[in-house]
Chains A and B, each alone.
Chain A
Amino acid sequence: MAGAMQDPQAIKALLARLWEQKKDVTLSRIAVVEQASSALASGLLTPELRAHAAGEAHKLAGSLGTFGFPEGSRLARAVEELLTADADLDRDDGERLAQLLLQLRNELQPPTK
């Protein structure tokens, strides 16, 4: 394949910079799912918020791995599957959702020195 074909390290640096620029979009999507999680814990999760959160989880599943967070995509897909299940969500589902979100947030933390 012809074309620009830049050095992979240079491309990775560009990708890292793009992630820093777009991280807030990702965090706002997680915030929507966290809102749904809190509503579920309070017994106040509406079908509309559940659908919105499932949509945001779908987008996270499709994007995090592309930004270098494959485990983030896996966790987001688990969130999406939980939220799109046919059954009503119960207390156990709420705890599982909260746990997945905690793992997701941790996954996106920069590595500590």
Chain B
Amino acid sequence: MPSKKILVVEDQEEIREIIALSLEEIGGWQVFFAEPGPEVILRAQAEQPDAILLDANMPRMDGPSTFQALRANPQTQHIPVILLTASVQKSDAERFAAFSFAAVLAKPFDPLTLPAQISAALGWEST
């Protein structure tokens, strides 16, 4: 499988770094970041990543709001978005189900298996 480009949107610095380590060192993918908010749309438009890994709980513009903005933009609406969340109550799952995320992954995640989880969610193993 050719290397993938992943846009990561996460406000916690320590989580950003562990995601980068996981996806670059284990997945062999290219990782780049955007600050929560309008920059996500601009970066997604410019870079056309293979997927966006989006934290649910962020200042300024949360995951679902960011997702809606991505879907409203013709240049980013096709990009699969995976939500990453530490909100794991049943009510949270119901709230997220209202959006067409490619997948919702729970935090804490295992950095050793994160690339495999993303690949499985997006059907990348068979490509």
Interface string of A1-44 (1 = CB under 8 A from B): 11111101001101100100010011000000000000000000
Report B126 CB to chain A, min CB distance, Å: 11
Chain A residue at minimum C-beta to C-beta distance from B29: A3
Could you tell me the distance in whole angstroms from the C-beta of B33 to the nearest C-beta in chain A? 16
The answer to the question of A46 belonging to the interface, with a C-beta cut-off of 8 Å to chain B, is no
Q: How far is the CA of A46 from the CA of B77 in the complex (A)?
A: 42
Q: How many A-B residue pairs have CB under 8 A?
A: 86
Given contacts A15-B111, A62-B15, contact A1 B27 (CB under 8 A): yes
A4 — nearest CB in chain B belongs to which residue? B28
Given A25-B13, A62-B108, A73-B108, verify A1-B115 contact (CB < 8 Å).
yes
Q: Decide: A66 near B25, CB < 8 A? Known: A22-B13, A22-B14, A59-B12.
A: no
Known A1-B119, A2-B1, A73-B108: A63·B15 in contact at CB below 8 Å: yes
* 0/1 string, B1-39, CB within 8 A of A gives 1: 111000000001111011001101111110000000000
Across the interface, name the chain A residue whose C-beta is closest to B13. A25
Complex partner residue of B115 from A3, A8, A15, A63, CB under 8 angstroms? A3
User: For B115, what are the chain A residues with a Cβ–Cβ distance below 8 Å?
Assistant: 1, 3
Chain B CB within 10 Å — which of A6, A25, A63 has the most?
A: A63
Q: Beyond the given A5-B26, A62-B85, A66-B18, could you list 13 further A-B residue pairs with CB under 8 A, ordered by the A residue number?
A: A1-B27, A3-B26, A3-B29, A4-B25, A11-B25, A11-B26, A15-B111, A25-B13, A61-B107, A61-B108, A64-B108, A65-B107, A67-B18
Chain A residues within 8 Å of B, Cβ to Cβ: 1-6, 8, 11-12, 14-15, 18, 22, 25-26, 58-59, 61-67, 70, 73
State the B residues within 8 Å of A (CB). 1-3, 12-15, 17-18, 21-22, 24-29, 57, 85-87, 107-112, 115-116, 119, 124-125
Q: List 22 A-B contacts (CB under 8 A).
A: A1-B27, A1-B116, A1-B119, A1-B125, A2-B3, A2-B28, A3-B3, A3-B26, A3-B27, A3-B28, A5-B26, A5-B28, A11-B21, A11-B111, A15-B18, A18-B17, A58-B57, A61-B108, A62-B108, A63-B86, A66-B108, A73-B108
